Amino acid sequence: MKVGLFFGSFNPIHVGHMVIANYMLEYTDLDRIWFVISPQNPLKDKKSLLDEKQRLHMVNLTIGDSNKYMASNIEFKLPKPSYTINTLAHLNEKYPQHEFVLIMGADNLKTFHKWKNYEEILNQYELYVYPRNYSDGGKLEKYPKVKLIPAPLMEISSTAIRQAIKEKKDVRYFMSIEAWQYLKSMHFYEK
């Protein structure tokens, strides 16, 4: 089985994430998508990060009972900060029957050279890259395992959603209704 690993903080998960995931399932050779909730991205600020279990819960609310998607807390059990290469090694050991592919936005290519053991990742794993407002000038695209997937360009972001909630704006249509209702009832991101 070919599994796409969609890493992210999902702080919170939104319709943009789901559009990308759905596109990857329908227009590539992936069989499943696992949303890998990162407890702490070493390249991101942690102060606005909601508790990892709350973010995992919102991903589960969003994907519902679909057997094509899974929310993964694999990084919760690994040393912090989370390094993709460590997660991949752990997943390969635990699920040798699966072939793993990384799903990432083109904007991540800008800092990909800062990732721990990034060359090993590029040599061992396929990367399915969806469009964002960024280009690396074709440097990483030269790697045979980097595949540019013409998924829809999504301008929505978790950062913008958090800011809108602070400003008391209604963002219910930016997320699944289940995740939005939970977020609203818990008063997340309001301060």
CB atoms under 10 Å from CB of 124, counted, come to 14
Those residues of the chain that have pLDDT short of 50 are: none
Residue 67 lies in a domain: yes
Closest CA to 74 of 6, 22, 159: 6
Any domain includes 174 = no
Domain membership of residue 165 (yes or no) is no
Tell me if 122 is assigned to some domain: yes
Give pLDDT, residue 139.
66
Distance from C-alpha of 62 to C-alpha of 102, rounded to nearest angstrom: 21
Domain with residue 114: its CATH number is 3.40.50.620
Asked whether residue 23 is domain-assigned, the answer is: yes
> Residue 90: which domain range?
2-155
The verdict on residue 170 lying in a domain is no
Please indicate, yes or no, if residue 74 is contained in any of the structural domains: yes
Q: What is the pTM of this model?
A: 0.92
Neighbour-count burial for 89-122, b at 16+ CB within 10 Å, e otherwise: eebeeeeeebebbbbbbbebbeebeebeeeeebb
What local confidence, expressed as pLDDT, does residue 113 receive? 85
Whether 168 maps to a domain, the answer reads no
Q: How many domains are there within the chain?
A: 1
- What digits encode the pLDDT tens for the residues 146-161? 999 999 988 899 999 9
Other Cβ atoms closer than 10 A to 23:
18
Q: What pLDDT is attached to residue 44?
A: 63
Q: Helices marked H in the chain — which ranges? A: 15-27, 52-63, 84-94, 118-124, 158-166, 177-186
Model pLDDT, residue 140: 65
Distance of CA 5 to the CA centre of its chain: 8
pLDDT at 138: 58
